[in-house]
Amino acid sequence: MKRFFVLTFLMFMATGLVSNGVALAQALTPDALVKSVTDDVLKTVRQDKDIQNGNSQKTIALVQAKVLPSFNFNRMTSLAVGRDWNKATPQQKEQLTNLFRDLLVRTYSNALSSYRDQTVRYKPFTMQPEETDVLVRTEVLQPGGRPIQLDYSLNLVDKGKDGGWKVYDVVVGGVSLVTNYRDTFAQEVRNGGIDGLIQSLADKNRALEKKAQDAQKR
Amino acid sequence: MKLNLPPSCCPARSALALAWCAALSVFSASARAENTDPLEGFNRSMFAVHEGIDHAVMKPLAQGYDAAVPLPAKMSVGNFYSNLWEVSRSGNAFLQGKGSNGLTGLGRLLINSTVGIFGLFDVASELGLEEGNEDFGQTLAVWGVPDGPYLFLPVLGPNNARDLVGWGVDQYTYPLWQQVEDKPVLRNSLGVLSFVKTRANLLPVDTVIDEAALDRYAYIRSAYQQRRAALINDGVPPRPVEDDDDYNNNR
């Protein structure tokens, strides 16, 4: 009987290890992940006349389906909020993360709909096997303009089947999207506490939502 | 503190350059590390003035230019101005001890000025000689000059004391301004065109800032400071960290 328990225990352990191992093995390397998501999204945008004509709902749906799963918004938000993050309750953290995610998705979607003839060049990428935090560097080539550096920070998130490499920052021409919010967020927290920041983000999202609806009606 | 700054974007005279140097020394003394924007009140009012001017004049001009001029012509206008900046880019690369970048810049200048017909076509890039991005503000930074306080000035946009000095020196050494110095009509036309094409290049950014920023002033300030830091560091972006003590101590 005792042997049975030990055996079962070992089997559980083994299945756990195996499934974990499979999940990690199936997860793409960071550069492959960035490339596959980028190529996938750009291919869709190129083929979709609605998105090119500025149908923001459709673009947002695309971003939600194809881009969101590869992003670590929790980490993005905590980095943007900085030290004040520790002052937030779990519930406030969740609110902040959701609101910040909506803001970023909308901004990103609208930038995407202005995508025309750009192509992306992936720079050589190497990493050590034990690394869990990396930078994948790309360059957006646009006709008639200078190339724009577009870099992604990724870290390895180990959470069962949702695990793998996740993007936690996008750096455009040396400007980190996450860091760029720090001053504003710190200022909002100074003025109105965490709830003040939540309120500002909610107001901003509402204003953008309204603007998008007005644009749709026209 | 009184600011002595040029009213136009035209070539700087040595007196102005001197005034900037004076401004720099005053500012760098008052700056230190505690706050990168000690003149925030002044800057915010200048920002409001700037947005008014931009809305009324600069942006409409840039939009007109963007809509009216076909892409190949816009590219050639950009290439023409940019080619002459190669003198400054290459010189500053040498001043920062980046000899091979400096040589690449000189090679680009040579090729684009000849095969590229006075710089109208960027042949050098096609040949694999990539354009650098150096200016005197970056050189000063490499030499150890601190940023100085953040400065937002109408029409000129975001700056810091050091980079404003650098900008002045770069304008002063820009060959085009030297060539047309005694031809006011041509000089002013070239100055305005340079300005309009620069503003037109920034048009796509407007939309992003409109949508992304909770506070446009702070968003632009942060983007400017990050961008400059990345350029000084030759394009290697900084990584955000969980508990940025440096950052928080600055608050």
Cα–Cα distance for residue pair B124/A73, rounded to 1 Å: 41
Which structure tokens are listed for B215?
């506070």
Query: What strand order describes the sheet that includes A175-176?
Result: A119-122, A133-141, A148-157, A164-172, A175-176
What is the residue type of A26? Answer: Q
Identify the residue among B40, B138, B222 best suited for mutation to test binding to A, counting A beta carbons within 10 A and taking the highest: B222
Q: Does the pLDDT at position B107 exceed 90?
A: yes
CB contact under 8 A, B222 and A83: no
Instruction: Work out the minimum CA distance from A173 to partner chain B, whole angstroms.
Output: 7
Determine whether B51 is exposed, middle or buried from the number of CB atoms within 10 Å of its CB (0-12, 13-18, 19+): middle
Q: What is the pLDDT of residue A46?
A: 86
Instruction: Give the per-residue pLDDT at A16.
Output: 47
> Is the minimum CB–CB distance between A102 and chain B shorter than 8 Å?
no
d(CA A56, CA A54): 6
The tens digit of pLDDT for each residue in B46-67 reads 999 999 999 999 999 999 999 9
Q: Residue A177's domain is classified under what CATH number?
A: 3.10.450.710
| pLDDT of B13 above 70 | no
Amino acid identity of residue B94, one-letter, is F
Outline where DSSP puts E strands in chain B: 150-153, 157-160
**Which of B207, B222, B248 is the closest to A110 by Cβ?**
B207
3 state SS of B155: coil
Task: Tell me the C-alpha to C-alpha distance, in Å, between residue B121 and each of B75, B79, B118.
Answer: 8, 6, 8
Number of helices followed by number of strands (H, E) in chain A: 8, 5
Nearest-CA residue of chain B relative to A184? B218
> How distant is the alpha carbon of residue A27 from its chain centre?
16
- Could you give the C-alpha distances from B246 to A82, A85, A178, B34, B251, in angstroms and in order? 12, 16, 16, 10, 9
Mean pLDDT lowest for which of B20-24, B56-60, B211-215? Answer: B20-24
Contacts with A205 from chain B: Cβ below 8 Å? none
Identify the residue whose tokens are 């609208």. A110
pLDDT band for B166, please (50, 70, 90 cuts): very high
Q: How confident is the model at residue B204 (pLDDT cuts 50, 70, 90)?
A: confident
User: Using N-to-C axis directions, what is the helix angle for B161-173 and B71-95, rounded to 10°?
Assistant: 110
Mean pLDDT of B104-116: 93
pLDDT value at residue B249: 38
Structural domain harbouring A108: 2-217
The whole-number pLDDT of residue B238 equals 63
Q: Which residue of B has its CA nearest to A102?
A: B212
pLDDT of residue B248: 40
- Quote helix, strand, coil % in chain B, to nearest 5: 65, 5, 30
Phi-psi region of B116 (alpha: psi -120 to 50; beta: other; left: phi over 0): alpha
Chain B residues with CB under 8 Å of A204 CB are 214
Q: Are residues A119 and A129 in contact, defined by beta-carbon separation less than 8 angstroms?
A: no
Q: Which two tokens stand for residue B171?
A: 């304008």
Who has greater pLDDT, B11 or B215?
B215
At residue A161, the pLDDT reads 65
Nearest CA to CA, how far is A2 from chain B (Å)? Answer: 47
CA distance B122 to A72: 40
With CB atoms and an 8 Å threshold, state whether A114 touches B226.
Answer: no
pLDDT for A23 equals 46
Question: Which residue type does B186 have?
Answer: L
Task: State residue B12's pLDDT score.
Answer: 44
Q: Which residues of A touch B78 (CB under 8 A)?
A: 144-145
Task: Give the C-alpha separation, A30 to A66, whole Å.
Answer: 16
How many domains are contained in chain A?
1
Phi, psi of B245 (to 5 degrees): -65, -45
- In the structure encoding, which two tokens stand for residue B106, read together? 């000189």
| Helices and strands, number each (H, E), in chain B | 13, 2
Kindly list the averaged pLDDT for each block of 10 residues, start to end, along chain A of length 218.
54 48 60 92 87 83 90 94 94 96 89 79 90 92 82 85 86 91 94 96 93 78
Which residues of chain A neighbour B141 with C-beta distances below 8 Å?
none
Note whether A183 contacts B222, CB cutoff 8 Å: yes
- Residue A145: its chain B contacts at CB < 8 A? 78, 201
What pLDDT is recorded for position A25?
42
Instruction: Express as a percent the part of chain B with pLDDT over 70.
Output: 80
pTM for this predicted structure: 0.82
CA distance A198 to A93: 9
Select from B29, B31, B148, B15 the least CA-distant residue to B4: B15
B144-157 pLDDT per residue, tens? 999 999 999 999 99
- Indicate yes or no: CB of A106 within 8 angstroms of CB of B211: yes
List the one residue out of B175, B188, B210, B213 whose CA is nearest residue B85: B175
State the smallest CA–CA distance between residue A161 and chain B in angstroms.
25
| B57-78 exposure pattern, b = at least 16 Cβ within 10 A, e = fewer | ebbebbeebbeebeeeebbbbb
Q: Are B43 and B151 in contact (CB under 8 A)?
A: yes
What is the C-alpha to C-alpha distance for residues B243 and B222, in angstroms, rounded to an integer? 18
